[in-house]
Structure 1
Amino acid sequence: MKTVMPATARGPLAGAVMEQLSAWLATERYARSMVPQILGVTRGLSAWMDDHDIALQALTVAVLESFEATYGRTVPGHTLVATRMPPLRRFLTETGYLPGIELARRQVRRPVNKPAPPISTAADRELDQWARWQREVGGIGAGCIRHRRIWMAELVDSLCPTDDRIDWSTCDVATLNTSIVARSAGLSSASCTLIVDATRSLMRWALATGRVTHDLTGGILRTRATRVTLPRALSPTQVEALLAACHPKSVAGVRDRAVITLLWRLGLRAGETAHLCLDDIDWSAGRLSVVGKGPRRLTLPLPVDVGRALVTWLAVRPTNACDRALFVRVRPPIRALSSAGISDIVKHRGEAAGMGAVHAHRLRHTAAMNVIAGGGNLIEAQELLGHRSAASTQTYARTDLTSLRTLTVPFGQVPR
Structure 2
Amino acid sequence: MTKRSPTARPSVDRIPLVPVGPLAPAVLAECSAWTAGLGYSPGYAAQIVNLAARLSLWMHTAGAGLDQIGPELLDRFVAVESSRPVVADGVRTRMGALRRFLIAAGYLSASDGEPGAATEVLAAVTAWRAWMRDDLGLLERTIDARCYYGAGLLDAIATADGVVEWRRLDATVVNEFVAERGRPYGAVTRSHIVDSVRCLLRWALSTGRIDRDLTAGVLKPPGTRRALPRGVSADQVAALLGVCDPTTVIGARDRAVVTILVRLGLRAGEAARLTLDDIDWTAGRLRVTGKGREHTLPIPVDVGEALATWLRARPVALDRGVFVRMAAPRRMLTTGGISGIIARLSDLAGIDRIYAHRLRHTAAMDILAAGGTLIEARELLGHVHTATTMGYAKVDLRSLRALVVPFGQVPR
TM-score by length of 2: 0.71
Residue 397, structure 1, aligned to residue 393, structure 2: yes
Give the SS at the match of 1:412. Answer: coil
| Distance in 2 (alpha carbons) for counterparts of 1:405 and 1:278 | 44
Q: Which runs of 5+ in 1 are unaligned?
A: 1-9, 21-48, 60-110
Which residue does the alignment assign to 1:177? 175
Paired residues for 1:261-300 under 5 Å? 261-293=259-291, 295-300=292-297
Aligned to 1:345: 341
Q: What is the distance in 2 between the residues matched to 1:373 and 1:127? A: 46
Indicate if the aligned counterparts of 1:13 and 1:56 stay in contact, CA closer than 8 A: no
Tell me, yes or no, if the aligned pair for 2:276 and 2:321 is still in contact at 8 Å: yes
The reply to whether residue 130 of structure 1 matches residue 133 of structure 2 is no
Counterpart of 2:18?
15
* Cα contact 2:51–2:90 (8 A) shared by 1: no
Is 1:335 aligned with 2:331? yes
Distance in 1 separating the partners of 2:369 and 2:377 = 11
Residue aligning to 1:56: 50
What corresponds to 2:28 in structure 1? none
- Whether contact under 8 Å (1:121, 1:163) holds in the other structure is no
Pick closer, same or farther for the CA change 1:151–1:54 going to 2, 3 Å. Answer: closer
**Cα distance change, pair 159–226 in 1 and its aligned pair in 2 (3 A):** closer
After superposition, where does 1:225-374 map in structure 2 within 5 Å? 227-293=225-291, 295-318=292-315, 320-374=316-370
Q: CA RMSD in A?
A: 2.8
Letter in 1 for 2:392: Y
Letter paired with 1:359: Y
Q: Which residue of 2 aligns with 1:202?
A: 200
Matches of 2:203 and 2:181, distance apart in 1: 20
Closer, same or farther: CA 332–217 of 1 in aligned 2, 3 Å: closer
Match of 2:372 in 1: 376
1:247-289, CA deviations, whole angstroms, 9 ceiling, x for partnerless residues?
1111111111111111111111111111110001111221111
Amino acid at match of 2:164: I
Q: CA deviation at 1:58?
A: 7.8
Deviations 1:46-92 (A, max 9, x none): xxx9xxx9992189xxxxxxxxxxxxxxxxxxxxxxxxxxxxxxxxx
The amino acid that maps onto 2:327 is: R
Closer, same or farther in 2 for the Cα pair 1:263/1:58, shift >3 Å?
A: farther
Q: For the residues of structure 2 that align with 1:157 and 1:203, how far apart are their CA atoms?
A: 14
Q: Deviations over 1:159-195 (max 9, x none)?
A: 3347876332221222211211211223222222221
| Deviation sequence 1:282-327 (CA, Å, 0-9, x none) | 112211111111x111211111111111111111111x31111111
Query: Offset of 1:344 from its aligned partner?
Result: 1.7
SS for the counterpart of 1:337 is coil
Matches within 5 A, 1:90-101: none
SS in structure 2 at match of 1:406:
helix
Deviation at 1:362, TM superposition (A): 1.2
Show the 5 A alignment for 1:81-160: 115-116=93-94, 117-118=96-97, 120-160=118-158
Distance 1:394 1:271 in 2: 22
In structure 2, distance between residues paired with 1:54 and 1:153: 17
Equivalent position to 2:166, from 165, 168, 185: 168
Shift of 1:379: 2.1
Structure 1 residues 13 and 390: CA distance shift in structure 2, 3 A:
farther
Say which one has the larger Rg.
Answer: 2
Kindly state the Cα deviation for residue 114 of structure 1 after the two structures are TM-superposed: 6.0
Q: Report the counterpart of residue 23 of structure 1 in structure 2.
A: none
- Counterparts of 1:126 and 1:404 in 2: how far apart (Å)? 49
Q: Is the 8 A contact 2:365 2:395 kept in 1?
A: yes
Task: Say if 1:58 and 1:115, in contact at 8 Å, map to a contact too.
Answer: no
Indicate if the aligned counterparts of 2:405 and 2:411 stay in contact, CA closer than 8 A.
no
* Partner SS for 1:288: strand
Distance in 1, Cα, partners of 2:163 & 2:132: 21
Distance 1:310 1:55 in 2: 41
- Deviation digits for residues 347-376 of structure 1, max 9, x if unmatched? 111111111432111111111111111111
Deviation at 1:144, TM superposition (A): 2.5
Correspondence for 2:213 among 202, 215, 223: 215
CA-CA distance at 1:123 after TM superposition: 1.0
Change (3 A) 1:127 1:285: same
TM-score normalised over the length of structure 1: 0.71
User: 8 Å contact 2:156–2:177 — kept in the other structure?
Assistant: no
- SS of the residue 2:403 aligns to: coil
Q: CA separation in 2, counterparts of 1:322 and 1:54?
A: 30
Taking the aligned partners of 1:286 and 1:114, their CA distance within structure 2 comes to 58
Structure 1 residue 407 displacement after superposition: 1.9
